[in-house]
C-alpha cells in the first residue's frame, strides 16, 4: 500500500534539483498540548470599556447625514450611493456625532 509520504518522496524525485539549493528549515516539532484549567470570563458589563451609557436611539428619522457619496467598484460593474451618518439623537437626549468620511484622520 502506498502512503502519502511515499507519494511525496516519489514526486520530489521527479523534480530536478538545483545543486546549489540547501534546505534551511528543519521540520517543526509537534506542539505540546495545553493542560485544561478552570477559567473565569467577564460578563458583558465587566468587559465594556468606558461605560458611557446606552447607545440607543428612539427615532431613526432624527438622524442627520453627510452628503450622498457615490462609490464605484474597481471594475465599474457596481455603483453604490451611500449616505454616511453625521449624527443620531440618543434616548438620553444627547447627540452622537460621526466625522466626515472624506476628512483625513488626525
Query: Residues 36-79: pLDDT tens digits?
Result: 888 777 665 555 555 566 788 888 899 999 999 999 999 999 99
pLDDT in tens, 75-102: 999 999 999 999 999 888 888 999 888 8
Residue 78 lies in a domain: yes
**Into how many domains does the chain fold?**
1
102 in a domain, yes or no? no
Rg (CA), the chain: 29
Is there a domain that residue 42 lies in?
no
Residue 74 domain boundaries: 57-97
* Residue 44 included in any domain: no
Q: Which residues pair with 79 in a beta bridge?
A: 72
Q: pLDDT above 90 covers what percent of the chain?
A: 28
Q: Tell me whether residue 46 is in a domain.
A: no
* Residue 1 DSSP code: -
With a cut of 80, say whether residue 29 has pLDDT above it: yes
Q: What pLDDT is attached to residue 100?
A: 87
How far apart are alpha carbons 56 and 49 in whole angstroms?
17
Whether residue 18 lies inside any domain: the answer is: no
62 is a domain residue: yes
| Contact partners, residue 3, CB within 8 Å, separation at least 6 | none
Domain assignment of residue 90, yes or no: yes
Amino acid at each position: 500500500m502506498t502512503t502519502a509520504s511515499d507519494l511525496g518522496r516519489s514526486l520530489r524525485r521527479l523534480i530536478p534539483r538545483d545543486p546549489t539549493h540547501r534546505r534551511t528549515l528543519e521540520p517543526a516539532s509537534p506542539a505540546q498540548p495545553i493542560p485544561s484549567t478552570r477559567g473565569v470570563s467577564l460578563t458583558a458589563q465587566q468587559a465594556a470599556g468606558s461605560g458611557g451609557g446606552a447607545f440607543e436611539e428612539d427615532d431613526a428619522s432624527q438622524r442627520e447625514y453627510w452628503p450622498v457619496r457615490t462609490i464605484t467598484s474597481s471594475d465599474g460593474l457596481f455603483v453604490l450611493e451611500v449616505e454616511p451618518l453625521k449624527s443620531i439623537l440618543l434616548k438620553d437626549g444627547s447627540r452622537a456625532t460621526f466625522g466626515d468620511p472624506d476628512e483625513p484622520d488626525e
